[in-house]
Amino acid sequence: MQVIRYFSFLFILVLPSCKNQSPTTINTVSTILLNSSFESGGSPSSDGWTISSSPMGGYSTDVPPNGGTYSIFLEASNPGGSASIKIALPQGAHIFRFSVWAKVTRLTGRAEIDFVHAIDQTIYFKQIDIPDTTWREYSIYDTLSVSSGDSLKVFLSPGFSELIASRTNFDICKVEQIQ
């Protein structure tokens, strides 16, 4: 009995000194892509984006969690709808995160980032396939060495089909610089 009281007493003395330790380095995130949610002031907006016109693309009130009021939809056909935006990147070596919320009705959609070198116009790209029929966030991390004039193009696609009707919805599309 004496031993149990002794350990209880030690536990009570040690407990207050336990606390969560915060990390020694803190990551900062800078959002580079503006109008990531395809709306402005409560109305649909394609500011900065090139989006296929109806019937190949348009706006929808079907949105992901925390997605606001509108998303865009792109129809898969021949030719299919698309959405794209070209953005300037800060110079230097940086880690970037590209993310998008998306869902499909039948076919696999696609989100792609194209890194274009200004000097020789070479393109380095990464692609995300979108197979889920419920809203899900997809993301890619990459380290890029950016020179003056280099850019990043975000390209969204619903897939391709001549026979099957399908639609891909996109929302909360972000490019973030992580340091």
15 within domain boundaries: no
159 within domain boundaries: yes
pLDDT value at position 78?
65
Counted domains in the chain: 1
pLDDT digits (tens, 9 = 90+) for 42-63: 899 988 899 887 678 899 999 9
Asked if residue 6 has pLDDT above 50, the reply is no
Asked if residue 22 has pLDDT above 70, the reply is no
Task: Band the pLDDT of 28: cuts 50, 70, 90.
Answer: low
pLDDT value at position 36?
85
29 within domain boundaries: yes
pLDDT value at position 34?
72
Cβ neighbours of 67 (radius 10 Å):
18
148 within domain boundaries: yes
Residues 6+ apart with CB under 8 A from 89: 32, 96, 144, 146, 150, 151, 152, 177
pLDDT value at position 119?
85
Burial class (CB in 10 A: 0-12, 13-18, 19+), 145: exposed
137 within domain boundaries: yes
Strand partners, 73: 58, 169
Residue 48 lies in domain: 22-178
Task: Band the pLDDT of 27: cuts 50, 70, 90.
Answer: very low
Q: Rounded to 5 degrees, what angle do the CA atoms 174, 177, 179 make? A: 145
32 within domain boundaries: yes
pLDDT value at position 12?
34
| Domain at 47, CATH number | 2.60.120.260
85 within domain boundaries: yes
pLDDT value at position 101?
97
End-to-end CA distance of the chain: 55
7 within domain boundaries: no
Q: Output the DSSP codes for 88-120.
A: E--SEEEEEEEEEEEEESSS-EEEEEEEE-TTT
SS3 60: strand
Question: Mean pLDDT across the chain, nearest whole number?
Answer: 81
Residues 6+ apart with CB under 8 A from 96: 32, 89, 141, 142, 143, 144, 152, 175, 176, 177, 178
pLDDT value at position 174?
92
Asked if residue 25 has pLDDT above 60, the reply is no
pLDDT digits (tens, 9 = 90+) for 81-139: 899 999 988 999 999 999 999 999 888 899 999 999 888 888 889 999 999 999 999 99
**115 within 8 A of 81, measured Cβ to Cβ:** no
Q: What is the pTM of this model?
A: 0.79
